[in-house]
Structure 1
């Protein structure tokens, strides 16, 4: 069984499986986080532009 963790995005709390990718979680909730390296054409993702930087 997956551990469930609480995260808060824009003041709203979500319960998600531990280890899930934050960009995927946000997208599933209809929340847009701009990214460049998350495109399927970029493999592996570089993570160097920092456009998707979020406060943790």
Structure 2
């Protein structure tokens, strides 16, 4: 019974230890960055379908 409890504790402790070690390495490898402005992305408008374009071109040609 005690072996099972120790095994469960070991299984739970290993990922926590790996996570904290990984975080410590990440903190020491990458110095803290200052505040960075957000990146803004402009999206292009929705393209018109081919049928709408042909209709517009026909109207422009008729005019």
TM-score computed with the length of structure 2 as normaliser? 0.17
Instruction: Look at both structures and tell me which one has the larger radius of gyration over its CA atoms.
Output: 2
TM-score computed with the length of structure 1 as normaliser? 0.17
The structure richer in strand per residue is 1
